[in-house]
A = this chain, B = another copy of it.
Amino acid sequence: MDFLTPLWGVGAGVLGLLVAVFFASSVLKENPGNSRMQEISKAIQEGAMAYLNRQYRTLIPIAVLIFVVLFIFKDWQVAVSFMVGAVSSGIAGYVGMGITTRANCRTTEAARTSLNKALGVSFRAGAVMGMSVAGLGLLGVAGLFLLFGNAETINSFAFGASAIALFARVGGGIYTKAADVGADLVGKVEAGIPEDDPRNPAVIADNVGDNVGDTAGMGADLFESYAATTIAGMLIGFSVFKGHGAGELLFILMGAIGIISSILASFLVRTGENANPQTALNKGLWGTNLLTALGSYALVHLLLPASYDTGSVVLTPNKVFIAVICGLVVNILIGLITEYYTSNNKKPAQSIAQASLTGPATNLITGMAVGLKSTALPVITICAATMISFSVAGVYGIAVAAMAMLSTAGMIVAIDSFGPVADNAGGIAEMAELEPSVRKTTDKLDAVGNTTAAVAKGFAIGSAALTALALFNAFAELAELHSIDILVPKTIVGLFIGGGLPFLFSAFAMEAVGKAAFEMIGEVRRQFKEIPGLMEGKAKPDYAACVDISTKAAIRQMIIPGLLAVGTPVLVGFGLGKSAMGGMLAGCTVAGFLLAIYMANAGGAWDNAKKYIEAGNLGGKGTDAHAAAVIGDTVGDPFKDTAGPSLNALIKVMGTISLIIAPFLS
């Protein structure tokens, strides 16, 4: 282990990217289907790219401004690291979306012959995104560390990733739900045409939204967590090991192990024709966790000294390994808890379905109760992991647990991004009017996609909490705070402000969806009325107009919440001082974590309560109970896909900004 050890990280990052290229070319070699299918896929591609172009074009001035500020007030290395983080996040988004939006028609075509083949195409497409995220993340951190030599300089890489993630989450969340709510309320409810019907003017926007929200948004979110956790861990490792390089290098090498584990495990993802594809994805997930555990065990023994006294705790490789296990167990538990509270095979979602029998009001009250209640177990899980990893390895243990969890991000993003591909594939089967057996195959994949989306959401929230804790401790190191005392009124004021931010931030996100959906509804109604022959299928709707409404609304409405998130910590930090800043970080993490879980799980449970009824239970489709459940699902949409996920980005961006301004605060 020497100065060149980070090269292992660079190597693993490059390996991840090479695998991404390999998967991408293998996906693109597949048959893209007939011309109608290709045409639809192309419309989705163009919509998605138009959105991404517009999003990044809007973000360039903001990024340049921050670059200049950092250049003037810090130095060129910090400014460059920031830009590399921002640009890497953007590249991961473009590459991933470029492939997933091309894989959709290929998955549909594959579904005509075999379930396993369709799974293969869609999973490999997701893996392109997964490997791009993990590969670019590790390459960036390790490469910059190799160049600039210390973690404090390159923490702006994480800030760059954060700033992009924040806007991508908020903008993507608004985009996808404006399109979804608009398409559903007018198409399904008013006009009575099925989901993904080509006559619905918002159908392309809706399919674009799945990619923009779930693929690009989630990818940026986890890229941010990945970068922030690695760097926060390195900062803590540097301080705890007082310059002994192993302390910080551990995080880069854990990242390398995670990437290699994800690559190996991805070859386990294959299914039989009559098997449940969930099993195949579970193999990938469990395989990654297992390989990461094994690799980390070897790593801590090879890298760390047999015993090291930090002053407050004596570290041994085995103790650090316990912290690794804590992170991986959180990984699994949060997924299981999320699945319990949202799956339509389980009591919570079924109780919401039951409550739909007495109308939408009781459906909503029960759904909120389920969401509120679902916060308890994740809180206990995070608390237990924090306590255990701290008791074995101090603050270093908390950072290691966070890194262990995040090191599996490549696989998590892969199985999450697979979802929108399968969903789009079903949409294309519908719109291209293929034989019903194709839709049946894609529906199987789509159902699995809903579960993996829930698991990934749980992962994103849980890892955001651990990342935020690591950032919080790194902030204290950089700000030279030896205690953050909540008996000091400034700190408790910080706690209140931090706690209040997620509420205000979600309000903006919800309101934005409300406004954008309202516009979308107007446009869809207009097209149904004004385009002659549309309902009879003789004329084509103006898809582009709807894509444009979603795009414009998302870009316009992401600005205020974004500035709120970036501006508040700067104001609080410079206005009230570092102790208030510490209180704010803690308050925002706690309240943001709780609200995010509440919103994600309530939304997921409402969605599946509706699906439970649609599967023929409690009277099935067309009953009053079903109508009530549709209302619950619609309310849940901005909960689970806009406000909830945006909170992950919020709590992390607070932390990465705090690292940047820490040395300036008094």
**A interface residues with partner B (beta carbon < 8 Å):** 181, 185, 189, 355, 358-362, 364-366, 368-373, 375-376, 379, 382-383, 386-387, 390, 398, 469, 472-473, 476, 481-487, 489-493, 495-497, 499-500, 503-504, 506-508, 510-511, 513-514, 517-518, 521, 582-583, 586-587, 590-591, 593-594, 598, 631, 634-635, 638
A481 close to B487 (CB less than 8 A): yes
CA distance A594 to B189 in the complex (A): 35
B contact residues around A189 at 8 Å (CB):
359
Contacts A375-B503, A487-B473, A487-B484; A362 near B517 (Cβ below 8 A): yes
Binding site secondary structure of chain A: helix
B contact residues around A583 at 8 Å (CB):
486
B361 close to A181 (CB less than 8 A): yes
CA distance A472 to B355 in the complex (A): 40
B507 close to A373 (CB less than 8 A): yes
CB distance from A392 to the nearest CB of B (A): 12
B485 close to A358 (CB less than 8 A): no
CB distance from A589 to the nearest CB of B (A): 9
B contact residues around A511 at 8 Å (CB):
366, 369, 373
A497 close to B379 (CB less than 8 A): yes
CA distance A383 to B576 in the complex (A): 12
Residue of A360, A511, A598 with most partner-chain B CB within 10 A:
A360
B631 close to A493 (CB less than 8 A): no
Contacts A359-B631, A487-B473, A489-B386; A500 near B369 (Cβ below 8 A): no
B383 close to A497 (CB less than 8 A): yes
Which B residue sits closest to A494, measured CB to CB? B383
13 residue pairs of the A-B complex, CB under 8 angstroms, read: A358-B517, A365-B510, A366-B514, A371-B507, A372-B510, A373-B508, A376-B504, A379-B499, A484-B486, A486-B491, A486-B582, A495-B590, A503-B594
B contact residues around A386 at 8 Å (CB):
489, 492-493
CB distance from A654 to the nearest CB of B (A): 15
B376 close to A500 (CB less than 8 A): yes
CA distance A586 to B496 in the complex (A): 9
Residue of A383, A469, A513, A583 with most partner-chain B CB within 10 A:
A383
CA distance A273 to B379 in the complex (A): 57
A487 close to B483 (CB less than 8 A): yes
B365 close to A507 (CB less than 8 A): no
CB distance from A344 to the nearest CB of B (A): 19
14 extra A-B contacts, CB within 8 A, seeds A361-B631, A375-B500, A379-B499:
A189-B359, A361-B635, A362-B514, A364-B635, A368-B635, A369-B508, A369-B511, A369-B514, A372-B510, A373-B507, A379-B496, A473-B487, A484-B485, A495-B586
**Cβ-closest 4 pairs across A and B:** A372-B507, A361-B634, A373-B507, A379-B500
CA distance A590 to B598 in the complex (A): 17
CA distance A469 to B496 in the complex (A): 11
A586 close to B486 (CB less than 8 A): yes
CA distance A593 to B590 in the complex (A): 14
B484 close to A469 (CB less than 8 A): no
B contact residues around A635 at 8 Å (CB):
361, 364-365, 368
B contact residues around A368 at 8 Å (CB):
507, 510, 635
B contact residues around A513 at 8 Å (CB):
365
CB distance from A585 to the nearest CB of B (A): 9
CA distance A508 to B365 in the complex (A): 11
CA distance A487 to B578 in the complex (A): 13
CB distance from A495 to the nearest CB of B (A): 6
A514 close to B355 (CB less than 8 A): yes
B518 close to A358 (CB less than 8 A): yes
Residue of A390, A510, A582, A590 with most partner-chain B CB within 10 A:
A590
B contact residues around A500 at 8 Å (CB):
375-376, 379, 594
Contacts A181-B361, A594-B499, A631-B359; A387 near B493 (Cβ below 8 A): yes
B contact residues around A379 at 8 Å (CB):
496-497, 499-500
B185 close to A361 (CB less than 8 A): yes
CB distance from A461 to the nearest CB of B (A): 13
CA distance A361 to B517 in the complex (A): 11
B contact residues around A361 at 8 Å (CB):
181, 185, 631, 634-635
B490 close to A387 (CB less than 8 A): yes
CA distance A634 to B361 in the complex (A): 6
Residue of A362, A373, A482, A483 with most partner-chain B CB within 10 A:
A362
B contact residues around A375 at 8 Å (CB):
500, 503-504
CA distance A387 to B494 in the complex (A): 11
Which B residue sits closest to A384, measured CB to CB? B493
B contact residues around A371 at 8 Å (CB):
507
Contacts A364-B635, A500-B379; A492 near B586 (Cβ below 8 A): yes
CB distance from A310 to the nearest CB of B (A): 15
CA distance A451 to B399 in the complex (A): 50
CA distance A390 to B372 in the complex (A): 34
CB distance from A406 to the nearest CB of B (A): 19
B496 close to A382 (CB less than 8 A): yes
A590 close to B496 (CB less than 8 A): yes
Which B residue sits closest to A390, measured CB to CB? B489
Contacts A365-B514, A591-B590, A631-B361; A372 near B485 (Cβ below 8 A): no
CB distance from A534 to the nearest CB of B (A): 21
B358 close to A521 (CB less than 8 A): yes
Contacts A359-B185, A492-B586, A499-B591; A638 near B365 (Cβ below 8 A): yes
B contact residues around A373 at 8 Å (CB):
503-504, 507-508, 511
B contact residues around A481 at 8 Å (CB):
487
Which B residue sits closest to A642, measured CB to CB? B365
CA distance A593 to B504 in the complex (A): 14
B contact residues around A355 at 8 Å (CB):
514, 518
B contact residues around A365 at 8 Å (CB):
510, 513-514, 634-635, 638
CB distance from A184 to the nearest CB of B (A): 9
B contact residues around A181 at 8 Å (CB):
361
B contact residues around A370 at 8 Å (CB):
507
Which B residue sits closest to A586, measured CB to CB? B486
Contacts A485-B485, A594-B591; A372 near B506 (Cβ below 8 A): yes
CB distance from A659 to the nearest CB of B (A): 15
